[in-house]
Amino acid sequence: MDSTQQAQFALDLQLTNEAAEQVRGFLTQEGVPAEAGGLRVSVLPGGCSGFKYGLNIEEAAADDDVVLTVNGIRLFVDGFSAQYLSGVTIGYHTSMQGSGFTFENPNATGGCGCGSSFTA
């Protein structure tokens, strides 16, 4: 990330060790080199509470992305999503009911039972 992007965004986005391990596995499965590729973290309109989270493996960051390295994983965040993601911790949970990524968002003013939709 260049100094312009650092000054423009003070983005505190966390990725737990368990989530980072899962992302490493997905990067390997998709043949995406960790040096250039990473995980796109986005906030999209929709979901039962107004916004929903999106996660995608990508081969490279877009020119206008904020790029963070957290737990050895490159995270790509667009400007729209950045405003909703500061302070968010992305985790990974496994249980008898299933497994998947989780989001702890201290900025959310509401949510629903699915865990991937929120109100800001």
Please provide residue 100's backbone torsions phi and psi, each rounded to the nearest 5 degrees. Answer: 170, 175
For residue 16, being part of any structural domain is answered with yes
Give how many domains the chain has, as a whole number.
Answer: 1
Q: Given this model, what pLDDT does residue 111 score?
A: 54
How far is Cα of residue 106 from the mean position of the Cα atoms in its chain?
15
| Each residue's pLDDT expressed in tens, for the chain with a length of 120 residues | 444 344 345 789 999 999 999 999 999 999 999 899 999 999 988 766 678 889 999 999 999 999 999 999 999 999 999 988 989 999 999 888 888 998 888 876 655 554 444 444
For residue 114, being part of any structural domain is answered with no
For residue 117, being part of any structural domain is answered with no
CATH number at residue 36: 2.60.300.12
How far is Cα of residue 88 from the mean position of the Cα atoms in its chain?
8
Q: What angle do CA 21, 25, 30 make, to 5 degrees?
A: 150
Q: Given this model, what pLDDT does residue 52 score?
A: 85
Q: Given this model, what pLDDT does residue 107 score?
A: 77
For residue 76, being part of any structural domain is answered with yes
For residue 116, being part of any structural domain is answered with no
* Domain residue limits at 98: 3-108
Q: Given this model, what pLDDT does residue 1 score?
A: 43
